């Protein structure tokens, strides 16, 4: 995640946290949801490294179920999402007047 307050990078991580806050999902579900929102589906080479970084940062946790791995927010992930939402809101106010 973007720890830096000036960083426009980290939007993918932010979106992943947001999607997982609505419902625990596995990687391909996340890819499909991103595809629906953005117009085309991200590569495995995009999605899995991002999930790995979030996991290593302690913001998401995983549980293996057969072939798939279901990701969910940790308490730290929930807190990080709340902070990121506030910053996002402040950054983009006025976009749709």
Q: Does 93 bind DNA (CB under 7 A)?
A: no
Question: How far is Cα 75 from Cα 49, in angstroms, rounded to an integer?
Answer: 21
Instruction: List, in sequence order, the alpha helices (H) in 23-96.
Output: 27-38, 44-56, 75-91
* Interface positions with a second copy (CB under 8 A): 5-6, 8-9, 11-12, 15, 18, 22, 34, 37-42, 46, 85, 87-96
For the sheet containing 60-65, what is the strand order?
Answer: 25-26, 68-73, 60-65
Q: Does 24 bind DNA (CB under 7 A)?
A: no
Tell me which residues touch DNA (CB under 7 A): 2, 4, 6-14, 26-28, 40, 42-46, 48-53, 64, 66-70
């Amino acid at each position: 995640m973007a720890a830096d307050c000036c960083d426009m990078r980290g939007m993918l991580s932010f979106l992943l946290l947001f999607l997982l806050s609505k419902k625990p999902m596995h990687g391909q579900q996340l890819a499909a949801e991103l595809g629906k929102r953005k117009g085309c589906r991200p590569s495995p080479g995009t999605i899995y490294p991002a999930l790995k970084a979030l996991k290593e940062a302690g913001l998401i946790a995983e549980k293996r179920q057969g072939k798939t791995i279901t990701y969910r927010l940790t308490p730290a992930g929930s807190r990080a999402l709340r902070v990121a939402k506030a910053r996002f809101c402040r950054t983009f106010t006025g976009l749709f007047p």
